[in-house]
Structure 1
């Protein structure tokens, strides 16, 4: 049976993206023998699409043809899922519903990527490490797997994400924990700008990005607090000595003076008992009040009155640490954590051309088979061996004495920074227990090549270190 209706659509297919406007011309021919009124609607469009038809109805006489223009606007927010939509252009009579015809038009909707990255908080202030919560959202119209990364311009920050990647359907979001670590600055606050990226696993796909700041307090910041604590301890000790003396002095002023020729006895305390003094004893020269006499002898001038951390290993017994124990290659900065210190290169201490970003440490073997610990870049153990190498002892367990064993004993010298914020240079690569104790212990050491005319003459090459805990 021949239908009394003929329909064609132009274009026959369409390529589009979210937010596009599409136009279809629907041509209709009345093949019946009566006048008909025809309308058109599009079926199968993405959710949120809007349709407008001009004119709304085509009035056609027998054998007459007309064109209905259909304008479609695809949604932007949220975008329709990417893919191929088979759209049906349904033309039918307004008064005879059994008279209709549908023509299919494929519409290919392209994938769009809208990845957003936000860090909370935007600024973290801390020491060696900090943490952020990273929220990643997929505002596009296709599912994506995103790989997370964070970098800083100086490449001094190590970033770890948990989880390292996320799978996001369209219109969803997920969170990851970002932990960053970086070497502490020496004596001034350092603000590190972080660039955080979420990269899709599709070739050529654009990554989403965000920013955050990591503000690090300098190494010496904790030392000022420590000095304030020492000062407070000194004031407390001074008060413990002065207050009893003052009270005794006032008590003496209140006692009546003995009459001339009186045989009244002088009160003498009997240490260490705390019983009241007897007035019946023989006369004796006055002594200091018991509260003063019971105190230990005062510290000599220049001696520290601050509390000393409990020594490790049961006192000041020295321990030998093999600095070549890790396998060859770049080692993590906490490779010697069990031995009480961290290790890293410090390119800011002495300028070395081409090594401005070198912050690593490595164990290497030279052509003669000699193994040693040295400075290096973070990814290449063969570079930047003349950058100073830092051994940083834990704040709660400072070193009480050290002796470093190098490959060449005449090629290196050592800068020592103590807990009282003083420093010294030691050509012998050793610090005695007496010297360390006089300065409250060793905070960190910086070993660097001796130089001639400003040029380093040898690499930093260490074999072992002997460490003694801070004595009481």
Structure 2
């Protein structure tokens, strides 16, 4: 039986990439003996593709032919998985559904590599070693295995990743712990710029890259400076004592009369406390008891200059007011003096329009409530439902924490320990025993509670209590 419909498609196949626009000309001939109205649709396109047909319907008399132009736009984000799609161009009568014809069109969608690498924190100040949390994201449309590496221009830094490689399906992320070591500088601070790469295991594939900074303090140089200062103070003190004595001895040899007795009574000048410990001890030996009984002014000033909330010698917990900074976006190291950094983490929960939100801000609600929350880097009023990361300094892991939120029933906390174990704490607290069992707390992610994975409440924090490891 001859079909009352003939269909051809040009081109017969297509090669494309995410975001491309494709055009197909569908030619239709009415082989029936009546007037027909034909429409066309494309079946089997990647998810997110859009289709537009011009005209919508071809009205054809018997033996008449017409062309319908079909325009296809492939999605950019998220990109459709790479591979071959067999697309069907289905042409059928609008009024007689038994009259139809389908022509297959192979569409080859190319693989797209879009690897991003983000280091948290971006800058670490320390001594011989430092640690970073590296987040690797596969924004492409094909699964990849990525091998991690870190280098510096001088090639003085050794890097260790745990794990050394990650397997990422399209549209997913993973984290690795980066530990770096480098020789300590002798006489000045050294900033080492790190280049972090995630290289696919496919030949010729482009690697993702990110940067971080490792600032090293010259610890030994400061000790030598102290020793040199003490030595200089001793020499000054010796000169202050020896020179008047020599002068008195010379005057005595010249004139042994009564005047010599007066010139021998030389007053040794008091050295300032900055001359060093030896100078202070020598000065104290010649100071009357009435003066020694009163404490030096420098010691009194030092005792009043101790920072509020600092950990004392017994290692007790400290309370940190997270609303201390003024309203607006704050630097990631605003709480460095308290032992941690803050930033938003858009990779933990997908929040529309907040894919690049990595900032933190202090804001005030209309009712006057102030709190710390997540935000973009330039707008403190948006992206408050993105999880907030509190990242403890590499040389000071937390031994116990308790976070005070605005709404205690709206948030929960993911805890990542130094041994890379992970737990979820609905109470926003971790005990000392639990932290000690996992070598201390590396960082925490505070996020809205939700049963379906959508962010429903803002991350709003007021304070945090932090105890040192082993305190």
Give the alignment's TM-score, normalised by structure 1: 0.49
Give the alignment's TM-score, normalised by structure 2: 0.50
Higher helix share: 2
